[in-house]
Amino acid sequence: MATEVWILGGTGRSGRAIAAELLSRGLSPVLVGRDATRLHNAATSLTAPATIPARTVVAASIEATAAEIQRQQPAVVINTIGPFTTTAGPIVRACLPGSHYVDLANDLPAVAALLDLDQQATAAGKTLVTGAGFGVTATESVVVQLSQPPSQPPGQPSGPALTKAPARVRVDMVPSLAMEAGVFGEALAGTILDGFPDARGRGRYEGRRYENGHLVRAPIAGSPASLTLPDGSKVTTASMPLGELIAAQRASGAPSVVSASSEAPSSPVVRAVLPLVTTLLAIGPVRAFARKRLAGVKFKARERPREYSYGHARLEWPDGTVQEGWLRLGDAQTFTGAVAAEVARRLLDGQGRPGAYTPAALFGPSLAEACGAEYLTGETAAAPA
């Protein structure tokens, strides 16, 4: 099992996308899930009829999955099962004796909790990577790219002192992805509704931002900004307490950081009622009811709304220097599959380091380029809405 890459939730959309990307890199994924028939069908659909389907492992629960990981010790485990605040803990504990761990978390408490395991991972000699998907990777990569000091020709005076941390950072994610017809499901509903409590899990359903280097309360869907995308179209983004907030602060060292998304509600009416809604969600039975209803919501198939998805960052230094850039890519779901697969490939190749990381913090801005993305710098600025 020393070279196997296990995908937990192997029959889901993310799991199938990651499996396809692993195969394109010459790696054989192992699909792990609860339903043997669905696993077999997913494994068969990944390969040509004349080839042997991918190996599968049936595990009826997270606890059973953890037990199989401890018993078989695959080289890398990729966790696609939300809510990650619930699933990551037992899976990581099972991995540390013998497996590297990767997940797709983008909710702030799950990302923070995984990064807090840095010392345990270092002591075990294993690598933990969280946020290996579109949201964290697309925005963090731009921050890392812009934070690198510019190279100066020999004998030339140096430019702005970009070796110092910027004073303020804002990151915006603008996903575009095709949707398959289906239902939200329990895992996605749990990730959405259980991802709002703060990073230390005290049950507050509020937004977050960094001020003076500390996480502080902020309105959900606050700090709206109008962005003109590199293709000339416009979107409005607003703040959300997502995993890229932590990733951007760690990557930049900036004391003031805001993370925003085009998926956040931007209507003034919706923003006005959000405080009441989030107050109600803090009540356990109300949240459980909402999670059950959301899990059953059906949605229709749709094409992606625009040609490209974007990650955006704007960094401002104390001397007034501003650096702004974009990461342009295609379908956000496809990019998520590529990121997780490329991280796994690099871990198999021994390119990782013991500890807990987000993707660009571990592998630098080239990771996104290896997944088909392109950096655009010096493009259009964000303006307050």
What's the rounded mean pLDDT across residues 164-175?
96
Residues 6+ apart with CB under 8 A from 93: 66
Question: Please, which pLDDT band fits residue 301 given cuts at 50, 70 and 90?
Answer: low
DSSP track, 92-142: HHHHTTT-EEEE---BHHHHHHHHTTHHHHHHHT-EEE---SHHHHHHHHH
Question: Please, which pLDDT band fits residue 148 given cuts at 50, 70 and 90?
Answer: confident
49 has pLDDT over 70: no
pLDDT of residue 240: 87
296 has pLDDT over 80: no
53 has pLDDT over 80: no
Q: Which has more pLDDT, 303 or 199?
A: 303
pLDDT of residue 18: 97
pLDDT of residue 160: 47
pLDDT of residue 133: 96
Residue ranges in 215-283 assigned as alpha helix (H): 243-252, 268-281
What type of residue sits at position 364?
A: G
* CA triple 279-281-287, angle to 5 deg: 160
Q: Is the dihedral of CA 114, 258, 208, 173 positive or negative?
A: negative
Domains of the chain: 5-135+333-367 (3.40.50.720), 148-331+372-384 (3.30.360)
Name which of 31-45, 225-239, 270-284 the model is least confident about.
270-284
pLDDT of residue 118: 98
186 has pLDDT over 60: yes
What's the rounded mean pLDDT across residues 340-359?
98
Question: Please, which pLDDT band fits residue 380 given cuts at 50, 70 and 90?
Answer: very low
pTM above 0.75, yes or no: yes
What's the rounded mean pLDDT across residues 375-381?
64
Asked if residue 149 lies in contact with residue 305, where contact means CB atoms within 8 angstroms, the answer is no
Residues 6+ apart with CB under 8 A from 43: 10, 31, 53, 54, 55, 56
185 has pLDDT over 80: no
pLDDT of residue 207: 83
54-105 pLDDT, tens digit per residue, is: 899 999 999 999 999 999 999 999 999 988 999 999 999 999 999 999 999 9
Percent of the chain with pLDDT over 90: 65
Residues in the chain: 385
Strands 309-316 and 298-299, by their bridges, are unpaired
**C-alpha–C-alpha distance, residues 149 and 160, integer Å:** 9
Q: How many of the other CB atoms lie within 10 Å of CB of 152?
A: 10
Name which of 17-31, 69-83, 213-227, 361-375 the model is least confident about.
213-227
Helix 284-295 × helix 268-281 angle, to 10°: 120
What's the rounded mean pLDDT across residues 15-28?
94
Which of 310, 12, 278, 252 is closest to 134 using CA atoms? 310
Question: Please, which pLDDT band fits residue 154 given cuts at 50, 70 and 90?
Answer: very low
